Amino acid sequence: VQLVESGGGLVQPGKSLKLSCSASGFTFSSYGMHWIRQAPGKGLDWVAYISSSSGTVYADAVKGRFTISRDNAKNTLYLQLNSLKSEDTAIYYCASSMYYYVMDAWGQGASVTVSS
Amino acid sequence: DIQMTQSPASLSASLGETISIECRASEDIYSNLAWYQQKSGKSPQLLIYAANRLQDGVPSRFSGSGSGTQYSLKISGMQPEDEGDYFCLQGSKFPYTFGAGTKLELK
B30 interfaces chain A, CB cutoff of 8 Å: no
Q: What does the alpha-carbon distance between residue B105 and residue B107 come to, in Å, rounded to a whole number?
A: 6
Sign of CA dihedral B4, B5, B9, B12: negative
Answer whether A31's CB lies under 8 Å from A104's CB: no
- pLDDT at position A26, please? 96
Sign of CA dihedral B15, B100, A56, A10: negative
Answer whether A69's CB lies under 8 Å from A51's CB: no
Rounded to 5°, the CA angle A49-A53-A55 comes to: 40
Per-residue pLDDT of chain B (107 residues; tens, 9 = 90+): 999 999 999 999 999 999 999 999 999 999 999 999 999 999 999 999 999 999 999 999 999 999 999 999 999 999 999 999 999 999 999 999 999 999 999 99
CA nearest to A3 within chain B: B43
| Test mutation, B71, B94, B103, chain A, max A CBs within 10 A | B94
- Segment A2-54, tens digit of pLDDT: 999 999 999 999 999 999 999 999 999 999 999 999 999 999 999 999 999 99
Q: What distance in Å separates residue B107's CA from the closest CA in chain A?
A: 22
**Which chain A residues are Cβ-neighbours of B4 within 8 angstroms?**
none
> Which of B43, B49, B91 is facing A93, going by the closest CB pair?
B43
The alpha carbon torsion through A85, A88, A89, A93 (nearest 10 deg) reads -150
CA nearest to B58 within chain A: A104
CA nearest to B40 within chain A: A41
